[in-house]
Amino acid sequence: MKAINEPVKSVKDLLPRGLINSGNLCFLNATLQALMSCSPFVQLLQELRTRDIPKAGYPTLTAFVGFVSDFDTPSGGSSKKKNISVLDIGRPFSPSMFEAVLKNFTPDVPNSISGRPRQEDAQEFLSFIMDQMHDELLKLQGESTSINGANTALVSLAEEDEWETVGPKNKSAVTRTQSFLPSALSDIFGGQLKSVVKAQGNKASATVQPFLLLHLDIYSEAVHTIEDALRLFSAPENLEGYRTSSTGNAGVVTAKKSVKIQTLSKILILHLMRFSYGSQGSTKLHKSVRFPLQLVLGRDLLVTPSAEGRKYELVATVTHHGRDPSKGHYTADARYFNDQWLHFDDASVTAIGTSKVLHDQAYVLFYKQV
């Protein structure tokens, strides 16, 4: 897979195209449009077009290669209308190449591209296709992504490595890291989280694990902005009834857990947890959460609080419209060349200003490292 890791000499921005929705496919359309605003991801797809990918066993890679092949590069012409740059827009088309991917995502649903009986969660679909693409890239490299036939997604089932690290003030912690095979996809979206648990009378225990997107709790009354949600994400929390190996089953001690980012990703995907599923059915949190065009991660969120790599700029959002999580409608806003923002509502593509992009009901945010 050396070809994937080599830089492409020139990757031009693609001519925007709407996606036809033949019935409950807006979750797919909005997700794809957001991903197409992530230039490193588009570059990866362009590189994959030069690879000889077998048709069998690689449904996600095959779908994305076919998808990006349907986009042309713009002629470079644009006109001004009401102070908004109106770009060339290609004709809408059906994302029919994702038929097999959708069947794998929801095997219980009989119809896919031709129309579906229900709406799906865009974030769940995004996580699914990223996991699948990661596995298929590893398989294309000749790496095994399963042990005894079990799909292991991001984390392998190999025994965890363990060592003792010495941190600030000479405090030591036993650290475990989950074995992880990197891919060209995780090189773009992947980062690492370090979770530290400190129990009374015991050495701190730390676990390092990979992530492709961060799930942010926005339910707390203290959360009004995406920065608030990130601070809550890394804030220490008390663990009730924590048992340590030294105290045995009978011993319960007080413990605190904190999570920080050890390795930052090139594209940071933030999932605002608006949906909850319980015995009373599914509910949606209609809460205002503001987010900026330029995001600087707080040093308290990072294991190593350096200034390098903390600045991000917004490139896309996915928004769910409606009261019911299992119904409603998904749209995407994405930044194209010349910093022009476009609103993607299935087949419709319109130019919009940043004031409309920065609404307070977003569901998934995509930030690119500056």
Angle (CA) 10 367 9, round 5°: 10
Q: Which of 149, 206, 158, 148 is nearest to 179 (CA)?
A: 158
Angle (CA) 48 186 189, round 5°: 100
Radius of gyration for the chain, computed over Cα atoms and rounded to the nearest angstrom: 22
Q: Are 118 and 27 in contact (CB under 8 A)?
A: no
Q: Is 77 exposed, middle or buried (0-12, 13-18, 19+ CB in 10 A)?
A: exposed
What's the gap between Cα 319 and its chain centre? 14
The tokens of 63 are what? Answer: 């779908």
Catalytic, 359? Answer no
Catalytic, 329? Answer yes
Q: Are 155 and 145 in contact (CB under 8 A)?
A: no
Point out the catalytic residue in the list 26, 38, 271, 320: 26
Point out the catalytic residue in the list 38, 224, 271, 329: 329
Q: Are 28 and 95 in contact (CB under 8 A)?
A: yes
The tokens of 221 are what? Answer: 């009354």
DSSP string, 17-38: EEE--SSS-HHHHHHHHHHTT-
Q: Three-class SS of residue 166?
A: strand
Q: Which residues contact 190 (CB under 8 A, 6 or more apart)?
A: 182, 210, 211, 212, 263, 265
- H or E segment to which residue 162 belongs: strand 161-166
The tokens of 251 are what? Answer: 């011993």
The tokens of 235 are what? Answer: 């804030």
Q: Could you give the residue numbers annotated as active site?
A: 26, 329
